[in-house]
Structure 1
Amino acid sequence: MAGAQPTLQDVMSELGVISGQLTSVENKLQCLDKMDQRMAVLEKDMQTLWLALEDRGKTVDERVSKLEHSAEGADIAAVHISSRIDDRERERDSLREDLTYMKSQSMRNNLIFTGVPEVESESPDTTESILRKHLTDALKIERETVASIKFEKVHRSPGEQTRGRARSLIAKFAFFKDKKSVRREWKQLTGTNCNVFEQFPPEVVAKRRKLLPKMKEARSNGKRSWISYDTLYVDGRPVRD
Protein backbone atom coordinates (compact mmCIF):
# COMPACT_ATOMS: atom_id res chain seq x y z
CA MET A 1 0.00 0.00 0.00
CA ALA A 2 1.43 3.38 -1.02
CA GLY A 3 2.67 5.47 1.90
CA ALA A 4 2.59 2.44 4.28
CA GLN A 5 5.26 2.31 6.99
CA PRO A 6 8.01 -0.35 6.66
CA THR A 7 7.45 -3.36 8.72
CA LEU A 8 9.94 -4.84 11.15
CA GLN A 9 10.63 -7.55 8.63
CA ASP A 10 11.51 -4.98 6.01
CA VAL A 11 13.91 -3.26 8.38
CA MET A 12 15.54 -6.54 9.31
CA SER A 13 15.93 -7.41 5.65
CA GLU A 14 17.61 -4.06 4.89
CA LEU A 15 19.90 -4.48 7.90
CA GLY A 16 20.88 -7.91 6.59
CA VAL A 17 21.82 -6.39 3.25
CA ILE A 18 23.83 -3.64 4.95
CA SER A 19 25.56 -6.21 7.19
CA GLY A 20 26.55 -8.23 4.14
CA GLN A 21 27.99 -5.16 2.46
CA LEU A 22 29.96 -4.27 5.61
CA THR A 23 31.32 -7.81 5.76
CA SER A 24 32.41 -7.52 2.14
CA VAL A 25 34.13 -4.21 2.89
CA GLU A 26 35.91 -5.73 5.90
CA ASN A 27 37.12 -8.61 3.78
CA LYS A 28 38.48 -6.20 1.20
CA LEU A 29 40.19 -4.14 3.93
CA GLN A 30 41.82 -7.31 5.24
CA CYS A 31 43.07 -8.03 1.75
CA LEU A 32 44.48 -4.50 1.58
CA ASP A 33 46.23 -5.01 4.93
CA LYS A 34 47.83 -8.17 3.59
CA MET A 35 48.88 -6.35 0.45
CA ASP A 36 50.38 -3.58 2.57
CA GLN A 37 52.34 -6.17 4.51
CA ARG A 38 53.55 -7.82 1.30
CA MET A 39 54.48 -4.41 -0.14
CA ALA A 40 56.40 -3.61 3.06
CA VAL A 41 58.31 -6.91 2.76
CA LEU A 42 58.91 -6.27 -0.95
CA GLU A 43 60.11 -2.73 -0.24
CA LYS A 44 62.50 -4.08 2.38
CA ASP A 45 63.78 -6.68 -0.04
CA MET A 46 64.22 -4.02 -2.75
CA GLN A 47 66.12 -1.82 -0.33
CA THR A 48 68.39 -4.73 0.63
CA LEU A 49 68.96 -5.52 -3.06
CA TRP A 50 69.68 -1.89 -3.83
CA LEU A 51 72.26 -1.69 -1.04
CA ALA A 52 73.86 -4.89 -2.36
CA LEU A 53 73.94 -3.42 -5.86
CA GLU A 54 75.51 -0.22 -4.53
CA ASP A 55 78.21 -2.24 -2.73
CA ARG A 56 78.78 -4.30 -5.88
CA GLY A 57 78.97 -1.14 -7.96
CA LYS A 58 81.56 0.34 -5.60
CA THR A 59 83.60 -2.86 -5.80
CA VAL A 60 83.40 -2.82 -9.60
CA ASP A 61 84.41 0.86 -9.68
CA GLU A 62 87.40 0.12 -7.45
CA ARG A 63 88.45 -2.79 -9.67
CA VAL A 64 88.03 -0.69 -12.80
CA SER A 65 90.08 2.08 -11.20
CA LYS A 66 92.82 -0.40 -10.30
CA LEU A 67 92.73 -1.82 -13.83
CA GLU A 68 93.00 1.68 -15.27
CA HIS A 69 96.02 2.39 -13.06
CA SER A 70 97.49 -0.95 -14.04
CA ALA A 71 96.85 -0.18 -17.70
CA GLU A 72 98.49 3.22 -17.34
CA GLY A 73 101.44 1.56 -15.64
CA ALA A 74 101.59 -1.03 -18.41
CA ASP A 75 101.52 1.72 -21.04
CA ILE A 76 104.36 3.54 -19.30
CA ALA A 77 106.31 0.29 -19.01
CA ALA A 78 105.64 -0.47 -22.69
CA VAL A 79 106.89 2.97 -23.71
CA HIS A 80 109.98 2.49 -21.56
CA ILE A 81 110.65 -0.95 -23.02
CA SER A 82 110.07 0.34 -26.54
CA SER A 83 112.53 3.16 -25.89
CA ARG A 84 115.11 0.69 -24.58
CA ILE A 85 114.60 -1.52 -27.64
CA ASP A 86 115.11 1.50 -29.90
CA ASP A 87 118.30 2.35 -28.01
CA ARG A 88 119.56 -1.23 -28.36
CA GLU A 89 118.75 -1.25 -32.08
CA ARG A 90 120.63 2.01 -32.55
CA GLU A 91 123.57 0.59 -30.62
CA ARG A 92 123.42 -2.57 -32.73
CA ASP A 93 123.34 -0.57 -35.98
CA SER A 94 126.21 1.58 -34.74
CA LEU A 95 128.24 -1.52 -33.87
CA ARG A 96 127.49 -2.99 -37.28
CA GLU A 97 128.64 0.21 -38.96
CA ASP A 98 131.80 0.25 -36.84
CA LEU A 99 132.48 -3.40 -37.68
CA THR A 100 131.90 -2.76 -41.38
CA TYR A 101 134.24 0.22 -41.24
CA MET A 102 136.91 -1.86 -39.49
CA LYS A 103 136.55 -4.55 -42.16
CA SER A 104 136.85 -1.89 -44.85
CA GLN A 105 139.99 -0.50 -43.25
CA SER A 106 141.51 -3.96 -43.14
CA MET A 107 140.77 -4.22 -46.89
CA ARG A 108 141.92 -0.69 -47.67
CA ASN A 109 145.06 -1.84 -49.48
CA ASN A 110 143.36 -4.75 -51.28
CA LEU A 111 142.57 -5.18 -54.96
CA ILE A 112 140.69 -8.04 -56.60
CA PHE A 113 141.81 -9.17 -60.06
CA THR A 114 139.52 -11.31 -62.21
CA GLY A 115 140.38 -13.25 -65.36
CA VAL A 116 144.01 -13.83 -64.34
CA PRO A 117 145.12 -17.30 -65.53
CA GLU A 118 145.55 -19.94 -62.82
CA VAL A 119 147.88 -22.91 -62.94
CA GLU A 120 147.33 -26.27 -61.29
CA SER A 121 148.43 -26.61 -57.64
CA GLU A 122 149.41 -22.95 -57.57
CA SER A 123 151.68 -21.98 -54.65
CA PRO A 124 151.62 -18.51 -53.00
CA ASP A 125 154.94 -17.58 -54.64
CA THR A 126 153.62 -18.68 -58.03
CA THR A 127 150.42 -16.68 -57.49
CA GLU A 128 152.45 -13.54 -56.77
CA SER A 129 154.62 -14.09 -59.86
CA ILE A 130 151.50 -14.53 -62.01
CA LEU A 131 150.12 -11.26 -60.63
CA ARG A 132 153.32 -9.32 -61.36
CA LYS A 133 153.31 -10.61 -64.92
CA HIS A 134 149.64 -9.59 -65.21
CA LEU A 135 150.44 -6.07 -64.02
CA THR A 136 153.09 -5.75 -66.73
CA ASP A 137 151.31 -7.46 -69.62
CA ALA A 138 147.67 -6.51 -69.05
CA LEU A 139 147.82 -3.21 -67.14
CA LYS A 140 150.90 -1.96 -69.04
CA ILE A 141 152.82 -1.00 -65.91
CA GLU A 142 156.62 -0.79 -66.34
CA ARG A 143 158.58 -3.81 -65.15
CA GLU A 144 160.78 -1.71 -62.84
CA THR A 145 157.70 -0.26 -61.19
CA VAL A 146 156.07 -3.69 -60.81
CA ALA A 147 159.28 -5.10 -59.33
CA SER A 148 159.33 -2.36 -56.68
CA ILE A 149 155.76 -3.08 -55.51
CA LYS A 150 155.59 -4.93 -52.19
CA PHE A 151 152.73 -7.20 -51.26
CA GLU A 152 151.73 -8.33 -47.80
CA LYS A 153 149.79 -11.23 -49.28
CA VAL A 154 148.64 -12.53 -52.66
CA HIS A 155 146.19 -15.40 -52.85
CA ARG A 156 143.28 -16.86 -54.81
CA SER A 157 139.69 -16.54 -53.62
CA PRO A 158 138.47 -19.45 -51.45
CA GLY A 159 136.99 -22.47 -53.14
CA GLU A 160 138.05 -25.49 -55.14
CA GLN A 161 140.10 -24.95 -58.25
CA THR A 162 138.06 -25.65 -61.40
CA ARG A 163 139.62 -26.63 -64.69
CA GLY A 164 139.21 -23.93 -67.32
CA ARG A 165 138.05 -21.33 -64.82
CA ALA A 166 140.42 -19.06 -62.91
CA ARG A 167 139.52 -18.00 -59.40
CA SER A 168 139.77 -14.33 -58.55
CA LEU A 169 143.14 -13.15 -57.31
CA ILE A 170 143.27 -11.02 -54.15
CA ALA A 171 146.31 -8.85 -53.49
CA LYS A 172 147.04 -6.96 -50.30
CA PHE A 173 149.54 -4.19 -51.07
CA ALA A 174 152.06 -3.15 -48.44
CA PHE A 175 151.57 0.50 -49.37
CA PHE A 176 148.36 2.30 -50.27
CA LYS A 177 150.10 4.44 -52.90
CA ASP A 178 151.05 1.31 -54.85
CA LYS A 179 147.51 -0.02 -54.70
CA LYS A 180 146.19 3.35 -55.86
CA SER A 181 148.60 3.59 -58.80
CA VAL A 182 147.68 0.08 -59.98
CA ARG A 183 143.97 0.79 -59.65
CA ARG A 184 144.35 3.86 -61.88
CA GLU A 185 145.31 1.63 -64.81
CA TRP A 186 141.94 -0.20 -64.89
CA LYS A 187 141.10 1.27 -68.31
CA GLN A 188 143.90 -0.84 -69.81
CA LEU A 189 141.64 -3.84 -69.26
CA THR A 190 138.78 -2.45 -71.36
CA GLY A 191 137.70 -4.99 -73.97
CA THR A 192 139.43 -7.90 -72.20
CA ASN A 193 138.09 -10.66 -69.97
CA CYS A 194 140.00 -9.21 -67.05
CA ASN A 195 139.01 -6.65 -64.47
CA VAL A 196 140.33 -5.05 -61.30
CA PHE A 197 138.37 -3.51 -58.48
CA GLU A 198 138.65 -2.62 -54.82
CA GLN A 199 137.67 -5.10 -52.15
CA PHE A 200 134.88 -4.18 -49.71
CA PRO A 201 132.90 -6.01 -47.03
CA PRO A 202 129.66 -7.68 -48.24
CA GLU A 203 127.54 -4.94 -46.62
CA VAL A 204 129.31 -2.23 -48.61
CA VAL A 205 129.21 -4.30 -51.81
CA ALA A 206 125.42 -4.60 -51.45
CA LYS A 207 125.08 -0.81 -51.06
CA ARG A 208 127.32 -0.12 -54.05
CA ARG A 209 125.31 -2.57 -56.17
CA LYS A 210 122.10 -0.66 -55.37
CA LEU A 211 123.75 2.63 -56.32
CA LEU A 212 124.97 1.47 -59.74
CA PRO A 213 121.67 2.13 -61.61
CA LYS A 214 121.54 5.68 -60.20
CA MET A 215 125.13 6.30 -61.20
CA LYS A 216 124.44 5.08 -64.76
CA GLU A 217 121.28 7.20 -64.95
CA ALA A 218 123.20 10.30 -63.88
CA ARG A 219 125.88 9.62 -66.49
CA SER A 220 123.25 9.15 -69.21
CA ASN A 221 122.00 12.63 -68.28
CA GLY A 222 125.45 14.09 -68.89
CA LYS A 223 126.44 14.39 -65.23
CA ARG A 224 129.70 13.34 -63.64
CA SER A 225 128.97 10.53 -61.21
CA TRP A 226 130.97 7.96 -59.30
CA ILE A 227 130.74 5.75 -56.24
CA SER A 228 133.20 6.14 -53.40
CA TYR A 229 133.01 3.51 -50.67
CA ASP A 230 129.19 3.32 -50.11
CA THR A 231 128.21 6.80 -51.32
CA LEU A 232 127.15 8.02 -54.77
CA TYR A 233 128.51 11.38 -55.91
CA VAL A 234 126.88 13.37 -58.72
CA ASP A 235 128.72 16.45 -59.95
CA GLY A 236 130.81 16.34 -56.79
CA ARG A 237 127.88 16.21 -54.36
CA PRO A 238 126.95 13.15 -52.30
CA VAL A 239 123.51 11.78 -53.05
CA ARG A 240 121.63 10.63 -49.97
CA ASP A 241 118.80 8.08 -50.09
Structure 2
Amino acid sequence: MSATETSEILAQSRTVLFGQSNEGEISLSTIHTLLTQMDSKLSNIEVKNERFETRLCEIEKRMTSLETIQTSISELKSSSSKLDTDVKKIRNDFGQLETNVSALGNVFDSVKETADKNKKTVDYVKKNLDEYTVTQKTLEEKLTSEVQALKEAKERLEESVTDLKARSMRDNLVFSGIPEDQDEDTEAVIQNLIRRRFRLDYDIPFERVHRMGRANEFSEWPRNIVAKFTYYKDREYIRQNAARRLHGTNVWVNEQFPQEIENRRKKLYPVMRQAKLDHKRVS
Protein backbone atom coordinates (compact mmCIF):
# COMPACT_ATOMS: atom_id res chain seq x y z
CA MET A 1 0.00 0.00 0.00
CA SER A 2 1.33 3.45 -0.89
CA ALA A 3 1.74 6.40 1.44
CA THR A 4 -0.95 8.36 -0.38
CA GLU A 5 -3.49 5.61 0.11
CA THR A 6 -2.57 5.41 3.82
CA SER A 7 -3.04 9.17 4.25
CA GLU A 8 -6.40 9.00 2.52
CA ILE A 9 -7.58 6.20 4.80
CA LEU A 10 -6.49 8.10 7.94
CA ALA A 11 -8.28 11.21 6.76
CA GLN A 12 -11.43 9.29 6.02
CA SER A 13 -11.24 7.60 9.47
CA ARG A 14 -10.89 10.99 11.17
CA THR A 15 -13.88 12.32 9.26
CA VAL A 16 -15.96 9.32 10.20
CA LEU A 17 -14.98 9.49 13.89
CA PHE A 18 -15.15 13.22 14.44
CA GLY A 19 -17.13 14.47 11.56
CA GLN A 20 -16.41 17.66 9.77
CA SER A 21 -18.08 20.07 12.33
CA ASN A 22 -17.83 18.41 15.70
CA GLU A 23 -14.42 16.92 15.75
CA GLY A 24 -14.39 15.98 19.45
CA GLU A 25 -17.55 13.84 19.62
CA ILE A 26 -17.36 10.09 18.87
CA SER A 27 -20.43 7.93 18.71
CA LEU A 28 -20.91 4.17 18.29
CA SER A 29 -22.48 4.64 14.96
CA THR A 30 -19.51 6.55 13.75
CA ILE A 31 -17.21 3.85 15.08
CA HIS A 32 -19.32 1.20 13.44
CA THR A 33 -19.33 3.13 10.26
CA LEU A 34 -15.62 3.62 10.53
CA LEU A 35 -15.03 -0.07 11.17
CA THR A 36 -17.29 -0.94 8.28
CA GLN A 37 -15.41 1.39 6.02
CA MET A 38 -12.10 0.09 7.36
CA ASP A 39 -13.23 -3.47 6.74
CA SER A 40 -14.28 -2.51 3.27
CA LYS A 41 -10.93 -0.81 2.73
CA LEU A 42 -9.11 -3.79 4.17
CA SER A 43 -11.08 -6.04 1.88
CA ASN A 44 -10.12 -3.83 -0.99
CA ILE A 45 -6.57 -3.87 0.24
CA GLU A 46 -6.61 -7.67 0.45
CA VAL A 47 -8.12 -7.84 -2.99
CA LYS A 48 -5.45 -5.47 -4.27
CA ASN A 49 -2.86 -7.41 -2.37
CA GLU A 50 -4.02 -10.63 -3.98
CA ARG A 51 -3.97 -8.92 -7.31
CA PHE A 52 -0.55 -7.59 -6.49
CA GLU A 53 0.67 -11.06 -5.52
CA THR A 54 -0.92 -12.46 -8.66
CA ARG A 55 0.82 -9.83 -10.74
CA LEU A 56 3.96 -10.44 -8.75
CA CYS A 57 3.70 -14.17 -9.59
CA GLU A 58 3.09 -13.28 -13.14
CA ILE A 59 6.07 -10.97 -13.04
CA GLU A 60 8.14 -13.72 -11.46
CA LYS A 61 6.95 -16.09 -14.13
CA ARG A 62 7.77 -13.49 -16.68
CA MET A 63 11.14 -13.00 -15.06
CA THR A 64 11.65 -16.74 -15.22
CA SER A 65 10.62 -16.63 -18.86
CA LEU A 66 12.96 -13.71 -19.36
CA GLU A 67 15.78 -15.68 -17.76
CA THR A 68 14.92 -18.58 -20.04
CA ILE A 69 14.81 -16.17 -22.93
CA GLN A 70 18.12 -14.69 -21.84
CA THR A 71 19.58 -18.17 -21.55
CA SER A 72 18.19 -18.96 -24.99
CA ILE A 73 19.55 -15.65 -26.24
CA SER A 74 22.94 -16.51 -24.70
CA GLU A 75 22.80 -19.90 -26.33
CA LEU A 76 21.73 -18.25 -29.57
CA LYS A 77 24.62 -15.79 -29.21
CA SER A 78 26.98 -18.71 -28.57
CA SER A 79 25.49 -20.60 -31.51
CA SER A 80 25.66 -17.44 -33.57
CA SER A 81 29.30 -16.99 -32.61
CA LYS A 82 30.01 -20.60 -33.47
CA LEU A 83 28.04 -20.15 -36.67
CA ASP A 84 30.09 -17.06 -37.47
CA THR A 85 33.24 -19.07 -36.84
CA ASP A 86 31.93 -21.88 -39.05
CA VAL A 87 30.90 -19.38 -41.70
CA LYS A 88 34.37 -17.82 -41.61
CA LYS A 89 35.90 -21.29 -41.87
CA ILE A 90 33.54 -22.16 -44.70
CA ARG A 91 34.47 -18.90 -46.42
CA ASN A 92 38.15 -19.75 -45.97
CA ASP A 93 37.53 -23.25 -47.27
CA PHE A 94 35.48 -21.84 -50.12
CA GLY A 95 38.29 -19.42 -50.92
CA GLN A 96 40.76 -22.31 -50.87
CA LEU A 97 38.35 -24.29 -53.03
CA GLU A 98 38.14 -21.41 -55.47
CA THR A 99 41.94 -21.30 -55.54
CA ASN A 100 42.10 -25.05 -56.12
CA VAL A 101 39.39 -24.85 -58.77
CA SER A 102 41.28 -22.07 -60.45
CA ALA A 103 44.50 -24.11 -60.33
CA LEU A 104 42.58 -27.14 -61.57
CA GLY A 105 41.16 -25.02 -64.38
CA ASN A 106 44.69 -24.02 -65.33
CA VAL A 107 45.76 -27.66 -65.24
CA PHE A 108 42.70 -28.60 -67.31
CA ASP A 109 43.52 -25.89 -69.83
CA SER A 110 47.10 -27.16 -69.99
CA VAL A 111 45.93 -30.77 -70.38
CA LYS A 112 43.43 -29.70 -73.04
CA GLU A 113 46.13 -27.83 -74.89
CA THR A 114 48.42 -30.86 -74.67
CA ALA A 115 45.56 -33.13 -75.75
CA ASP A 116 44.86 -30.89 -78.72
CA LYS A 117 48.52 -30.99 -79.69
CA ASN A 118 48.59 -34.76 -79.25
CA LYS A 119 45.42 -35.07 -81.33
CA LYS A 120 47.01 -33.07 -84.11
CA THR A 121 50.13 -35.23 -83.84
CA VAL A 122 48.02 -38.41 -83.87
CA ASP A 123 46.03 -37.15 -86.87
CA TYR A 124 49.29 -36.33 -88.65
CA VAL A 125 50.78 -39.73 -87.78
CA LYS A 126 47.55 -41.47 -88.78
CA LYS A 127 47.55 -39.65 -92.11
CA ASN A 128 51.18 -40.61 -92.69
CA LEU A 129 50.43 -44.15 -91.55
CA ASP A 130 47.54 -44.39 -94.01
CA GLU A 131 49.80 -43.11 -96.76
CA TYR A 132 52.53 -45.51 -95.62
CA THR A 133 50.00 -48.36 -95.56
CA VAL A 134 48.93 -47.60 -99.12
CA THR A 135 52.57 -47.30 -100.19
CA GLN A 136 53.46 -50.48 -98.32
CA LYS A 137 50.55 -52.33 -99.90
CA THR A 138 51.65 -51.14 -103.33
CA LEU A 139 55.24 -52.16 -102.59
CA GLU A 140 54.08 -55.52 -101.24
CA GLU A 141 52.03 -56.15 -104.36
CA LYS A 142 54.97 -55.10 -106.51
CA LEU A 143 57.37 -57.18 -104.40
CA THR A 144 55.00 -60.16 -104.54
CA SER A 145 54.81 -59.81 -108.29
CA GLU A 146 58.58 -59.52 -108.54
CA VAL A 147 59.08 -62.47 -106.18
CA GLN A 148 56.64 -64.51 -108.24
CA ALA A 149 58.49 -63.50 -111.38
CA LEU A 150 61.82 -64.41 -109.75
CA LYS A 151 60.33 -67.70 -108.58
CA GLU A 152 59.14 -68.50 -112.06
CA ALA A 153 62.51 -67.41 -113.49
CA LYS A 154 64.25 -69.60 -110.90
CA GLU A 155 62.06 -72.55 -111.82
CA ARG A 156 62.76 -71.95 -115.50
CA LEU A 157 66.47 -71.64 -114.71
CA GLU A 158 66.37 -74.84 -112.66
CA GLU A 159 64.56 -76.58 -115.49
CA SER A 160 67.17 -75.27 -117.89
CA VAL A 161 70.00 -76.43 -115.63
CA THR A 162 68.29 -79.79 -115.19
CA ASP A 163 67.84 -80.03 -118.96
CA LEU A 164 71.52 -79.17 -119.48
CA LYS A 165 72.49 -81.81 -116.92
CA ALA A 166 70.28 -84.34 -118.62
CA ARG A 167 71.77 -83.47 -122.00
CA SER A 168 75.28 -83.78 -120.59
CA MET A 169 74.30 -87.24 -119.25
CA ARG A 170 72.54 -88.28 -122.43
CA ASP A 171 75.48 -90.47 -123.52
CA ASN A 172 76.01 -91.98 -120.03
CA LEU A 173 75.07 -95.37 -118.63
CA VAL A 174 75.37 -96.46 -115.02
CA PHE A 175 76.65 -100.01 -114.36
CA SER A 176 75.73 -101.38 -110.93
CA GLY A 177 76.80 -104.51 -109.06
CA ILE A 178 80.29 -104.88 -110.59
CA PRO A 179 82.83 -105.96 -107.93
CA GLU A 180 85.34 -103.28 -107.04
CA ASP A 181 89.15 -103.67 -106.78
CA GLN A 182 91.45 -101.09 -105.30
CA ASP A 183 93.80 -100.74 -108.29
CA GLU A 184 91.31 -101.49 -111.06
CA ASP A 185 91.05 -99.90 -114.49
CA THR A 186 87.33 -99.10 -114.67
CA GLU A 187 87.29 -98.68 -118.46
CA ALA A 188 89.00 -102.05 -118.90
CA VAL A 189 86.46 -103.60 -116.51
CA ILE A 190 83.56 -102.29 -118.63
CA GLN A 191 85.25 -103.33 -121.90
CA ASN A 192 85.78 -106.84 -120.57
CA LEU A 193 82.14 -107.05 -119.40
CA ILE A 194 80.81 -105.93 -122.79
CA ARG A 195 83.05 -108.36 -124.70
CA ARG A 196 81.98 -111.28 -122.55
CA ARG A 197 78.24 -110.54 -122.25
CA PHE A 198 77.47 -108.69 -125.46
CA ARG A 199 79.89 -110.73 -127.64
CA LEU A 200 81.30 -107.80 -129.57
CA ASP A 201 84.47 -108.24 -131.61
CA TYR A 202 85.53 -104.63 -131.17
CA ASP A 203 86.10 -102.24 -128.32
CA ILE A 204 83.41 -99.58 -127.79
CA PRO A 205 85.04 -96.16 -127.47
CA PHE A 206 84.37 -94.18 -124.22
CA GLU A 207 85.12 -90.60 -123.39
CA ARG A 208 85.52 -91.43 -119.69
CA VAL A 209 84.66 -94.20 -117.22
CA HIS A 210 84.83 -93.88 -113.40
CA ARG A 211 83.33 -95.01 -110.11
CA MET A 212 80.73 -92.73 -108.45
CA GLY A 213 81.50 -91.19 -105.06
CA ARG A 214 84.32 -91.85 -102.63
CA ALA A 215 85.65 -95.30 -101.85
CA ASN A 216 84.46 -96.86 -98.57
CA GLU A 217 86.20 -100.04 -97.51
CA PHE A 218 83.48 -100.79 -94.95
CA SER A 219 80.67 -100.76 -97.52
CA GLU A 220 79.40 -104.15 -98.67
CA TRP A 221 78.06 -102.72 -101.93
CA PRO A 222 80.44 -101.77 -104.74
CA ARG A 223 80.22 -98.28 -106.13
CA ASN A 224 78.41 -97.73 -109.41
CA ILE A 225 80.42 -97.12 -112.59
CA VAL A 226 79.48 -94.26 -114.92
CA ALA A 227 80.51 -94.71 -118.55
CA LYS A 228 80.24 -91.85 -121.05
CA PHE A 229 79.98 -93.33 -124.54
CA THR A 230 81.62 -91.61 -127.48
CA TYR A 231 78.76 -92.58 -129.76
CA TYR A 232 75.11 -92.47 -128.79
CA LYS A 233 74.31 -95.52 -130.96
CA ASP A 234 76.75 -97.67 -128.97
CA ARG A 235 75.15 -96.43 -125.75
CA GLU A 236 71.66 -97.32 -127.01
CA TYR A 237 72.76 -100.75 -128.16
CA ILE A 238 74.12 -101.59 -124.71
CA ARG A 239 71.08 -100.11 -122.93
CA GLN A 240 68.52 -101.93 -125.07
CA ASN A 241 70.25 -105.34 -124.79
CA ALA A 242 71.43 -105.08 -121.19
CA ALA A 243 68.39 -106.78 -119.61
CA ARG A 244 68.73 -109.81 -121.88
CA ARG A 245 72.53 -110.04 -121.95
CA LEU A 246 73.01 -109.50 -118.22
CA HIS A 247 70.16 -111.77 -117.12
CA GLY A 248 71.24 -114.12 -114.35
CA THR A 249 74.05 -111.87 -113.17
CA ASN A 250 74.22 -109.36 -110.35
CA VAL A 251 74.96 -106.57 -112.80
CA TRP A 252 72.37 -104.18 -114.22
CA VAL A 253 72.48 -101.11 -116.38
CA ASN A 254 70.47 -97.86 -116.10
CA GLU A 255 70.45 -94.48 -117.72
CA GLN A 256 71.99 -91.65 -115.79
CA PHE A 257 69.73 -88.70 -114.89
CA PRO A 258 70.19 -85.56 -112.81
CA GLN A 259 69.07 -85.87 -109.19
CA GLU A 260 65.98 -83.71 -109.87
CA ILE A 261 64.75 -86.09 -112.56
CA GLU A 262 65.78 -89.12 -110.53
CA ASN A 263 63.62 -87.90 -107.63
CA ARG A 264 60.66 -87.64 -109.98
CA ARG A 265 61.34 -91.11 -111.40
CA LYS A 266 61.44 -92.63 -107.90
CA LYS A 267 57.78 -91.75 -107.51
CA LEU A 268 57.03 -93.84 -110.63
CA TYR A 269 59.07 -96.92 -109.72
CA PRO A 270 56.26 -98.53 -107.65
CA VAL A 271 53.90 -98.01 -110.60
CA MET A 272 56.42 -99.62 -112.96
CA ARG A 273 56.90 -102.65 -110.69
CA GLN A 274 53.16 -103.15 -110.37
CA ALA A 275 52.76 -102.92 -114.15
CA LYS A 276 55.43 -105.55 -114.64
CA LEU A 277 53.67 -107.84 -112.16
CA ASP A 278 50.56 -107.35 -114.25
CA HIS A 279 52.58 -108.47 -117.35
CA LYS A 280 52.33 -105.06 -118.98
CA ARG A 281 54.95 -103.45 -121.15
CA VAL A 282 56.70 -100.67 -119.26
CA SER A 283 59.05 -97.96 -120.42
Q: Quick check: TM above 0.5?
A: yes
The residue number in structure 2 matching 1:24 is 82
| Separation in 2, partners of 1:23, 1:80 | 85
Q: Which runs of 5+ in 2 are unaligned?
A: 1-56
Mean Cα deviation higher: 58-67 or 96-105: 58-67
More helix by share: 2
Say whether the 8 Å CA contact 2:166–2:257 is kept in structure 1. yes
1:8-47 aligned within 5 A: 10=66, 13=70, 16-47=74-105
1:1-150 aligned within 5 A: 1-2=57-58, 10=66, 13=70, 16-58=74-116, 60-61=118-119, 62=121, 66=125, 69=129, 72=133, 76=137, 79=140, 83=144, 88-116=150-178, 121-123=183-185, 127-128=187-188, 130-138=189-197, 140=198, 143=200, 147=202, 149-150=204-205
| Separation in 2, partners of 1:3, 1:214 | 139
Higher RCO, 1 vs 2 (CA within 8 Å, ≥6 residues apart)? 1
TM-score, with structure 2 as normaliser:
0.57
1:203-214 aligned within 5 A: 203-214=260-271
Q: Which amino acid aligns with 1:134?
A: L
Say how many residue pairs are matched: 217
The Cα shift of 1:16 comes to 4.7
Aligned equivalent of 2:207, options 149, 152, 161: 152
| Separation in 1, partners of 2:135, 2:100 | 46
Say whether the 8 Å CA contact 1:153–1:172 is kept in structure 2. yes
Q: Which amino acid aligns with 1:184?
A: Q
| Separation in 2, partners of 1:117, 1:17 | 133
Higher radius of gyration, 1 or 2: 2
More strand by share: 1
| Separation in 2, partners of 1:159, 1:26 | 113
Say whether the 8 Å CA contact 2:180–2:223 is kept in structure 1. yes
Mean Cα deviation higher: 54-63 or 169-178: 54-63
Structure 1 vs Structure 2 CA RMSD: 4.3
The Cα shift of 1:10 comes to 4.0
The Cα shift of 1:111 comes to 0.7
The residue number in structure 2 matching 1:185 is 241
| Separation in 2, partners of 1:76, 1:39 | 56
Residues 193-236 of structure 1: CA distance to partner in whole angstroms, max 9, x if unpaired? 1111111223333332343234434555777654xxxxxxxxxx
Q: Which runs of 5+ in 1 are unaligned?
A: 227-241
TM-score, with structure 1 as normaliser:
0.64
| Separation in 1, partners of 2:102, 2:274 | 90
- Identity rate, percent: 21
